[in-house]
Structure 1
Amino acid sequence: MAEIPPPSPRMTTMGWYSSPVEEIEDAAGEIMLLWSLQQPTIRKPNSLVRQSSQTLPLDSCGHSLTILQSPSSMATPGVTGAVMWDSGLVLAKFLEHSADAAALSLPGKRAVELGAGCGLVGCVAALLGAHVVLTDLPDRLRLLRKNVHSNLGGQVRGSARVEELTWGDDVDPDLVAPSHPDLVLGSDVVYSEAAVPDLLCTMKALSGEYTTIFLSGELRNEAVLEYFLEAAMEDFLVGHVDQEQWHPDYRSPRVALFVMVKKKKKKMEQERELL
């Protein structure tokens, strides 16, 4: 008897991103594929950044950026946003590459970056024409503001400002008024099971019918990522963005990139009836 081939992945477009992505239907299966195909644990970490340096130079959108880092802050438990990670560089250059390829249009879009850290992703989004609010915890805002002011001081197509945001708390009304943001961005924001419920609470609060979320992340702990994907899929459609769609010079087997949109209310009700 002939062996039945596995079903083909469901390819679809999501939100403002016009390139087709593979819709994730099984969190455990996605984790198994990521770890088996990309083998992140045997790859060199942070091959795209230099975390020991005080600065990270980068050319983007016709600008020469200098991202300030604070390597000494990494000695403080729980502080990871004081330096750049590969996932942040991947997401920033993905946005630039997608705009160049006409797969994503940012001019005039309203965007919120979660856990902005050094602020590279939000700065690039602003250079591409988005009006960005870069958010993080209160003790992370000083370095974030420095990077925004030093890198966006000249002519910028969009705009950027820094605002405090603690996941799980009520979001500032100005982030969702007069409408929800068009884009929510985050790099390396899925790092512990304890933080997932609050992160998803904030993502849901920021997401409207036309909001598109882009999340990149370091592949460290498969259990944490599986937990996040399972929980996220209750309220969001989640797509895996293949590395072929990333910037060709900024790819890493230790990083995954996802695009998400909020499920329509009718679809959510139908799925819950099937449970």
Structure 2
Amino acid sequence: MTMTGDEECVFPAEDGLFADTFSEDSMYKFIGQELKISQVFGANLGVAAPVWDAALHLCRYFEEQSFELRGKRIIELGAGTGIVGILAARLGAHVTLTDLPLAVDQLQSNVSANAPPSGWPSGDPPAVLPLSWGQDQRRFPSDWWDVVLGADIVYLSETYPLLLETLAHLCEKSGAVAYLSSKMRREHGTPGFYEDCLPRRFLVELVARDAKQNINIYKASLRREH
């Protein structure tokens, strides 16, 4: 994996942090795919603006595991810049990118910027749709997905029950497997989500850990009631 730009993004969520809106383009390469990702700062995007290290770790995990993405039906939650889902789409997956409405324009811009010259392998570009956890996840089918993705989406404890509800719905009938990559921030209760909250509904397995950057990747499958 090669990249330009800052590897470590530290971006507080305070409104008005930047007086002016500006964008920063970075190039990344995973699994033979070169991605140009724009990050729009100062547009009230907050934590949706940067490419977070946990997203890069998830891309690298797929690369190192030779993970087969072609043909998979994938939905990404809290996609932000969309780098993980766009990589999957470039490799032949059918992808839906979701985030709060304010992030949709940035997502759509990055999808357009990364369209392969010969067209998307699946035949269609990634769909970009708003999704507020715990509110409108039922607009999305529960019997369609193969994989649910999330990178650095576990950082606000008040959203954890909503995220759990959304994950359970998306995996309910499809048997989809979730791959969640997180910076393990104790001050935000991130470890508690994976140790206490997620296991209530899911079988949870730690599949990768970067101790230096304190980033874990988990695989989660919905528990089946007998």
Question: If the length of structure 2 is used for normalisation, what is the TM-score?
Answer: 0.82
Give the CA deviation at 1:172. 4.8
Matched, 1:90 2:57: yes
Q: Is 1:239 aligned to residue 205 of structure 2?
A: yes
Listed one character per residue, the Cα deviations across residues 44-73 of structure 1 (whole Å, up to 9, x for unaligned) are xx9734679701211223232110012334
Change (3 A) 1:260 1:222: farther
CA positional deviation for 1:125:
1.0
Number of aligned residue pairs: give it: 206
Q: Are residue 161 (structure 1) and residue 124 (structure 2) matched?
A: no
- 5+ residue gaps, structure 2, are 12-22
Is 1:206 the counterpart of 2:176? The answer is no
After TM superposition, give the deviation of residue 254 of structure 1 in Å.
Answer: 2.3
Bigger strand share? 2
- The match for 1:79 among 16, 41, 46 is 46
Task: Flag the structure with larger Rg.
Answer: 1
Cα offsets for 1:15-56 (capped at 9, x unmatched)? xxxxxxxxxxxxxxxxxxxxxxxxxxxxxxx97346797012
| Aligned counterpart for 1:220 among listed residues 185, 188, 191 | 185
1:186 to 134, 150, 154: 150
Q: What is the CA deviation profile of residues 90-138 of structure 1, one whole-angstrom value per residue up to 9, with x for unaligned ones? A: 1122223323xxxx32211111000000000000111222101000011
Q: Quick check: 1:108 aligned with 2:67?
A: no
Q: Distance in 2 between matches of 1:113 and 1:86?
A: 16
How far does residue 222 in structure 1 lie from its aligned partner after superposition? 5.5
Q: Which structure has more helix as a fraction of its residues?
A: 1
SS at match of 1:259: strand
Provide the aligned C-alpha RMSD in A: 2.4
The unaligned stretches of length 5 or more in structure 1 are 1-45, 245-250, 267-275
TM superposition shift of 1:153: 4.2
Q: Look up the equivalent residue of 2:127 and give its one-letter code.
A: R
TM-score by length of 1: 0.68
1:58 to 28, 34, 40: 28
Q: How far off is 1:227 after superposition?
A: 2.9
Residues 1:239 and 1:153: Cα distance change in structure 2 (over 3 Å): same
